[in-house]
Chains A and B, each alone.
Chain A
């Protein structure tokens, strides 16, 4: 089978998994469905010749599922009780469908799948090994050519860790410890 057929199958599976996750009223099952969607994304990366991304996505997906399950455990809420009235959600679904129809011409204007326009990286192919000494061009880019991006990523992670610590530190001081 060509790669495109596989991708159609897996993206269809991901869309189905997302809808199931959003419509289930059991929050734990919803989190597990999201984990399956993320693993499907890892398989897509593998098919699209990005093995490094597939590995990272695999690990990150497991971590985020663990974080979400920890949240459900800490709050002890397993069922989604609040539902929106049907008429209101039908209006919103109509708007989303209109956005889909409106965006279709945009995708027809893109180059066909498998023939990208991006030509920036031909320099990396030609010079990457000599300039950085790394046979893996992905690491050559993230750790040499675009190292400031990686620095910014590290800063974002650091800020988010500081944010989480700050959010949880106020609990001891604020006296609202009857949460759990």
Chain B
């Protein structure tokens, strides 16, 4: 089953979030989970033997895949980039304050 492989990719990201103690690794794991979700939505939308959802004059009534999940995933991809940018900014700020990427050492609240 191809959906369960996609879910396995999601679980790899979940494993990274759960076990890693380095902030860079956690950011990467969040990215992996986002990839898995996007891929799953596009896999759901695929129709066998269908073409891309662009009408061409040559074959005006061909079978096409579902364009609606593709539109939503397009939004999601761009939002993931902004999430990554925000996480990276926070990580740089944390590093400047604590001089470490280790999440166990980031404990004290300092103004």
A residues with CB within 8 A of B: 4, 7-8, 11-12, 14-15, 18-19, 21-22, 27, 30-31, 34, 37-38, 41, 44-45, 48-53, 56-57, 60, 63-64, 67-68, 70-72, 74-75, 77, 80-84, 88-89, 92-93, 95-96, 99-100, 103-104, 107-108, 110, 113-116, 118, 120-121, 124-125, 128-129, 135-138, 140-142, 146, 149-150, 152-153, 156-157, 160-161, 163-164, 167-168, 170-171, 176, 179-180
Q: When the two chains form their complex, are residues A11 and B9 in contact, meaning their CB atoms are under 8 A apart?
A: yes
Q: When the two chains form their complex, are residues A77 and B21 in contact, meaning their CB atoms are under 8 A apart?
A: no
Q: When the two chains form their complex, are residues A138 and B46 in contact, meaning their CB atoms are under 8 A apart?
A: no
Residue numbers in A under 8 Å from B80 (CB-CB): 60, 64
Q: When the two chains form their complex, are residues A49 and B28 in contact, meaning their CB atoms are under 8 A apart?
A: no
Residue numbers in B under 8 Å from A99 (CB-CB): 11, 14
Q: In the complex the two chains form, what is the Cα distance from A77 to B12 in whole Å? A: 24
Q: When the two chains form their complex, are residues B5 and A11 in contact, meaning their CB atoms are under 8 A apart?
A: yes
Partner pick for B2 among A11, A19, A140, A157, CB 8 A cutoff:
A11
Residue of B nearest to A57 (CB): B77
Q: In the complex the two chains form, what is the Cα distance from A88 to B47 in whole Å? A: 43
How many residue pairs link A and B with beta carbons under 8 A? The number is 258
B residues with CB within 8 A of A: 1-9, 11-16, 18-22, 24-25, 27-29, 31-32, 35, 38-39, 42-56, 64-75, 77-86, 88-93, 95-97, 99, 101-102, 104
Main secondary structure of the interface of A (DSSP, over half): helix
Q: When the two chains form their complex, are residues A137 and B97 in contact, meaning their CB atoms are under 8 A apart?
A: no
Q: How far is the CB of A179 from chain B (nearest CB, A)?
A: 3
Q: When the two chains form their complex, are residues B65 and A18 in contact, meaning their CB atoms are under 8 A apart?
A: no
Partner pick for B84 among A14, A67, A135, CB 8 A cutoff:
A67
18 A-B contacts, Cβ less than 8 Å apart?
Answer: A15-B12, A22-B15, A45-B42, A48-B46, A48-B65, A49-B65, A75-B95, A82-B22, A88-B19, A96-B15, A99-B14, A114-B47, A114-B48, A118-B44, A125-B64, A129-B55, A142-B74, A171-B96
Q: In the complex the two chains form, what is the Cα distance from A156 to B19 in whole Å? A: 29
Q: How far is the CB of A16 from chain B (nearest CB, A)?
A: 10
Q: When the two chains form their complex, are residues B31 and A113 in contact, meaning their CB atoms are under 8 A apart?
A: no
Residue of A nearest to B98 (CB): A179
